[in-house]
Amino acid sequence: MGLDIRVADPRAVDPAKMIVEGRQTENAVNVAHALVGLFGPLAVDFGEAGWLVVDGTRPVAALRMEISDRLLKVQKEMEQRLGPMTDLFNDLFNRKKPR
């Protein structure tokens, strides 16, 4: 199941000024893949996970897997950085309160 996007005149649309926002990475990949047919290769900013170039040479599933792997890596890095802080909070929480 694909996502088709059509405009009356692609020349009237400036992709450099387009902003597509969303919360689901799958939708961002789908939209970018659909827009490649109109505007050529695009770059999608996934924040901490970096930019993903969508040029139509790779299937949507491969693009989704790449960004998924990157997001998991970012999540693991955050967990590692927060580990000492989590341990500190756990220690404070588990201390016996004075009577």
Would the pLDDT of 2 be above 60? no
Question: Is 36 contained in some domain?
Answer: yes
Question: Is 81 contained in some domain?
Answer: yes
Determine the structural domain holding residue 60 and report its residue range.
10-94
Question: Is 14 contained in some domain?
Answer: yes
Class of residue 9 by CB neighbours under 10 A (exposed 0-12, middle 13-18, buried 19+)? exposed
Residue 14: the pLDDT is 81
- Per the structure, the count of domains in the chain is 1
Residue 40: the pLDDT is 87
Per-residue model confidence as pLDDT tens digits over 55-68: 999 999 999 999 99
pTM (predicted TM-score) = 0.68
Residue 13: the pLDDT is 80
Question: Is 2 contained in some domain?
Answer: no
- Quick one: average pLDDT of 2-18? 75
Question: Is 19 contained in some domain?
Answer: yes
Question: Is 3 contained in some domain?
Answer: no
Instruction: Return d(Cα 4, Cα 68) in angstroms, integer.
Output: 23
Instruction: Return d(Cα 10, Cα 36) in angstroms, integer.
Output: 11
Would the pLDDT of 27 be above 90? no
C-alpha pair distances (Å), 16 with each of 63, 64, 86: 21, 23, 42
